[in-house]
Amino acid sequence: MILGDSMVNNKKKHRVNKFLYVSLFLLSIVVILVSLFFAIDSKWFVLLSGIGCGSFASVLVALLIEIFHCRERNEKSVHVLNFAIEDIGAAIADYCDRYSYFVISMDEKYKCELHTFLEWVQLYAQLVADGKPQVRKTYVTGAMDSVKEAFDLFYNNRVWYLENDYLTKEEFKAISRMCKSIFTSKLHYMISDVEISSVSIVEINQEISECMLKTKDFSKFANTKYSYHQSLSSMFVHDEYDDE
């Protein structure tokens, strides 16, 4: 599964220590320059120029190795984190897609239209306000349960992700807030014996949309316009074997 290029662009945790290598390069150059104050056949010239040139070459090799290792660690972090949140992404995309399905099931004239997640929610709420029967609560809560199950698996492995620097504490908190905003909304459906109001439907999902926008790896779920035929799942979520 892929969520988009933001995963790659935002996970550059491992960086080369530029200050260290620049300092070592400058020190090597200074030693080489000092050697020039001595005669070419002087033992001091031979000693200092040898040290300076050898140090410069060693630092250059060390820098290239460090660049390679940083790139390798960054790529591994991206793959591990993608794997860690792929189920969450699939569950959230399915939750968002369901509102386009709800609207189409009520009025097929919207079948070819493109809307963002919150726009689909608002259309659904408007149709409910106009007297259309709501979809069964289980269609909504079932998607919420899927998000909860995916988050629980992610949460159970949080220590490993954090200790190995595959995930920062800020990223973990952002993903947690977003997921909890979805599955805790289930309470609105469970404690009410009557159908939830159209106003509440919008308010609940507006909070969810805002949490998505604050979570950079999932903000596209709130920003992207999608349709009944071109779902978020088909755009951002697919099996990894499809790429082979």
Per-residue pLDDT tens over the stretch 206-233? 989 988 888 777 888 999 999 988 999 8
Least confident of 3-12, 34-43, 70-79, 159-168: 3-12
* pLDDT at position 234: 87
* pLDDT at position 229: 87
Question: Is residue 39 very low, low, confident or very high in pLDDT (cuts 50, 70, 90)?
Answer: confident
Higher per-residue confidence, 105 vs 235? 105
Share of the chain above pLDDT 90, in %: 30
pLDDT tens per residue, range 162-195: 887 777 788 788 888 888 888 888 877 776 666 7
Residue 25 three-state SS = helix
Average pLDDT over residues 78-100: 85
Phi then psi for residue 121, to 5 deg, are -60, -45
153 Cα distance to chain centroid: 17
- Examine the pLDDT at 241 and tell me if it is beyond 70: no
Higher per-residue confidence, 37 vs 7? 37
Ranges of H-type helices in the chain = 6-9, 18-35, 43-106, 117-129, 137-156, 158-163, 169-183, 186-190, 198-213, 219-223, 232-236
Are the C-beta atoms of residues 120 and 141 closer than 8 Å to each other? no
Are the C-beta atoms of residues 117 and 99 closer than 8 Å to each other? yes
Question: Is residue 80 very low, low, confident or very high in pLDDT (cuts 50, 70, 90)?
Answer: confident
* pLDDT at position 27: 92
Tokens coding 213 = 């926008």
Share of the chain above pLDDT 70, in %: 89
- Examine the pLDDT at 145 and tell me if it is beyond 70: yes
Residue with tokens 């239209």: 113
* pLDDT at position 240: 41
Are the C-beta atoms of residues 115 and 228 closer than 8 Å to each other? no
Are the C-beta atoms of residues 189 and 196 closer than 8 Å to each other? yes
Are the C-beta atoms of residues 208 and 185 closer than 8 Å to each other? yes
* pLDDT at position 84: 73
Q: How far is CA 100 from CA 73, 138, 201, in A?
A: 39, 16, 14
- Examine the pLDDT at 198 and tell me if it is beyond 90: no
Tokens coding 29 = 């150059």
* pLDDT at position 194: 65
Question: Is residue 76 very low, low, confident or very high in pLDDT (cuts 50, 70, 90)?
Answer: confident
- Examine the pLDDT at 68 and tell me if it is beyond 60: yes
* pLDDT at position 239: 46
CA distance 178 to 201: 17
**Per-residue b/e over 5-30, b at no fewer than 16 CB within 10 Å?**
eebeeebeebeeeeeebeebeeebee
CA distance 54 to 52: 5
* pLDDT at position 237: 66
